[in-house]
């Protein structure tokens, strides 16, 4: 998609035909009233908003005619104090409801630069639509637009460029994830990232199935062996000269998850094209971090395979060997994400980074526990607190979950070092985390494990409920902005 153009002006001048002017609705007593705005409101100041059904609730929008063939969009400011988080959401709500409008001018109350930036970021993110497969009405999803914020708090040119770089990577992630699995398979996902990385100042290295075998990646190979489209491991690395720390990112890249021979029921298979979200997110995060030239070395490992059913698929109870030498009994071939990630976490540990973060649509249990918006966060060392702080600054929702060691017995295998699942076990999200923890290597000195955070994005990667804030339906691009904020926290 072509990205909209961002502008900031300090004063409103005049109404342009066809443009939309966004104005807030708040309450006075218990009545809805227009919020203060830098935009000329005299034409609508007399309206009895209550009788028109206008509300101050968050997510409320209504269109009203404005002078000169323009329109106003009235948006409910909600009942929370204005902040970067609420303004990002308001920008998104307005942008989504004005998807057919090519010029949007925001006259919402902002108190500082951070809020103006958040408003623009939300508006930009809210413009996203995926039109690649709409043969007849592609034009209706042309997202070219001019987005202007009227505010005395003017972000720097660098701040605007930062928003555009980050949004471009969020959109690229959403495009990859929304693309159906007949077009996104291990090889094509690897090539797509290679292409996206051109000119960003990163190196991309791809392991094909022969090299995966030679280098001992039994997890990725075991999951991918049932597919006619062989697996891949992709390393995307940004290594600036002035690097202050080294972050390794590991992403689950199952381009389609049928469950394998432990096959999923038909209804559960819908949505499994989203199972490569973690890989797309970590790959695109490195590209964004490189374009922002942050002084941090970041290495992403995209662990990519298609989990299919065939005569060559891994059988339940087969034993495979992971890159770090540990053996795994594959009790359930549908718990495949942890197998490809085990290889990824092992190789990521070999270079002894300061922090490892994995991103994965790992468990249905995470959605049962957390719903549709929160990402499950687990980890050890400084991992959890680092990711909590980064998510907070990006305005994304994470929830810290425990890794109770008493549950580890559920993964005992009679013949291998560990089993990948246990039928009937409770705490599926936590068991997923406990399994992954076994593949985190030790720090360069001593016996301590490398700091680690695990993000289970099964709840949050795909929005199949109502749109909210800047999040539309389908791929959300969640956690990309958090990973960028994490890298920024080392700068």
Known catalytic residues?
264, 338
281 backbone dihedrals φ, ψ, rounded to 5°: -65, -45
Question: CA nearest 448: which of 356, 383, 380?
Answer: 380
Q: Which one of residues 427, 428, 472, 477 is an interface residue with ligand BES (CB under 6 A)? A: 428
Cα angle 96-99-116, degrees, rounded to a multiple of 5: 55
Binding mask 317-356 for Zn ion (x = CB under 5 A): -----------------x-xx-------------------
The secondary element (H helix, E strand) that includes residue 314 is none
The pair of structure tokens assigned to 189 is 């996902």
**335 binds ligand BES per the rule CB under 6 A:** yes
271 binds, among Zn ion, ligand BES, none (CB under 5 to 8 A by kind): ligand BES
Count of chain residues binding Zn ion (CB under 5 A): 6
| Footprint on residues 234-293 left by Zn ion (CB under 5 A) | 254, 257, 275
Minimal distance in Å, beta carbon 409 to ligand BES?
A: 16
The pair of structure tokens assigned to 470 is 């800047």
SS3 of residue 3 by DSSP:
coil
CB-count exposure of residue 83 (10 Å: 0-12, 13-18, 19+): middle
| Footprint on residues 47-106 left by ligand BES (CB under 6 A) | none
Q: Which one of residues 286, 419, 421, 434 is an interface residue with ligand BES (CB under 6 A)? A: 421
Residues β-bridged to residue 329 = 319, 419
332 binds, among ligand BES, Zn ion, none (CB under 5 to 8 A by kind): ligand BES
118 backbone dihedrals φ, ψ, rounded to 5°: -65, -40
Residues with Cβ within 8 Å of residue 426, at least 6 apart in sequence: none
Count of chain residues binding ligand BES (CB under 6 A): 16
Minimal distance in Å, beta carbon 367 to ligand BES?
A: 6
First to last CA, the chain: 30
Q: Which one of residues 59, 209, 237, 257 is an interface residue with ligand BES (CB under 6 A)? A: 257
Minimal distance in Å, beta carbon 454 to Zn ion?
A: 15
* Residue labelled with tokens 């810290």: 400
| Footprint on residues 344-383 left by ligand BES (CB under 6 A) | 361, 363-365, 367
For ligand BES, the nearest residue by Cβ is 364
Largest CA distance in the chain: 78
Q: Which one of residues 337, 353, 381, 441 is an interface residue with ligand BES (CB under 6 A)? A: 337
SS3 of residue 436 by DSSP:
helix
Residues that bind ligand BES (CB under 6 A): 257, 271, 275, 332, 334-337, 361, 363-365, 367, 421, 428, 458
Residues that bind Zn ion (CB under 5 A): 254, 257, 275, 334, 336-337
């Amino acid at each position: 998609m072509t990205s909209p153009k961002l502008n900031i002006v300090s004063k409103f001048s005049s109404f342009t035909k066809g443009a939309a002017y966004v104005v807030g609705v708040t309450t006075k007593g218990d009545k809805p009233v227009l919020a203060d705005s830098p935009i000329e409101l005299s034409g609508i100041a007399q309206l009895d908003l209550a009788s028109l059904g206008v509300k101050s609730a968050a997510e409320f929008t209504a269109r009203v005619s404005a002078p000169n063939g323009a329109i106003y969009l009235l948006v409910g400011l909600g009942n929370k104090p204005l902040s970067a988080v609420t303004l990002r959401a308001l920008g998104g709500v307005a942008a989504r409801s004005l998807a057919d409008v090519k010029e949007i001018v925001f006259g919402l109350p902002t108190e500082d630069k951070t809020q103006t930036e958040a408003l623009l970021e939300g508006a930009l993110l809210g413009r996203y639509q995926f039109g690649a497969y709409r043969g007849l009405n592609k034009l209706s999803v042309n997202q070219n637009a001019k987005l202007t914020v009227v505010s005395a708090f003017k972000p720097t040119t660098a701040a605007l460029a930062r928003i555009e770089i980050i949004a471009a990577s969020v959109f690229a992630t959403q495009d990859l994830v929304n693309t159906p699995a007949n077009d996104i398979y291990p090889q094509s996902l690897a090539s797509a990232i290679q292409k996206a990385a051109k000119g960003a100042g990163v190196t991309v290295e791809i392991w094909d199935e022969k090299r995966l075998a030679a280098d001992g990646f039994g997890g990725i190979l075991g999951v991918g062996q049932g597919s006619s489209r062989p697996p891949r491991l992709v390393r995307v690395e940004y290594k600036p000269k002035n690097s202050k720390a080294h972050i390794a990112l590991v992403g689950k890249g199952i381009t389609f998850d049928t469950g394998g021979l432990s096959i999923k029921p038909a209804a559960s298979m819908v949505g499994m094209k989203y199972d490569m979200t973690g890989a797309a997110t970590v790959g695109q995060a490195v590209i964004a971090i490189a374009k922002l030239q942050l002084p941090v070395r970041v290495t992403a490992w995209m662990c990519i395979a298609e989990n299919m059913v065939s005569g060559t698929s891994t059988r339940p109870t087969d034993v495979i060997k992971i890159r770090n030498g540990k053996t795994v009994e594959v009790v359930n071939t549908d718990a495949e994400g942890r197998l490809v990630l085990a290889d990824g976490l092992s190789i990521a540990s070999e270079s002894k980074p300061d922090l490892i973060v994995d991103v994965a649509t790992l468990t249905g249990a995470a959605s049962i526990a957390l719903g549709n918006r929160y990402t499950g966060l687990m980890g050890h060392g400084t991992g959890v607190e680092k990711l909590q702080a980064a998510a907070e600054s990006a305005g994304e929702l994470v929830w810290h979950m425990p890794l109770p060691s008493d549950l580890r017995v559920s993964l005992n295998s009679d013949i291998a070092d560990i089993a990948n699942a246990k039928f009937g076990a409770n705490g599926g999200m936590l068991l997923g985390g406990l399994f992954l923890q076994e593949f985190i290597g030790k720090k360069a000195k001593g016996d301590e494990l490398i700091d680690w955070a695990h993000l289970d994005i099964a709840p949050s990667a795909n929005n199949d409920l109502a749109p909210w804030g800047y999040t539309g339906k389908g791929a959300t691009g969640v956690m990309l902005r958090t990973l960028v904020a994490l890298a920024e926290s080392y700068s």
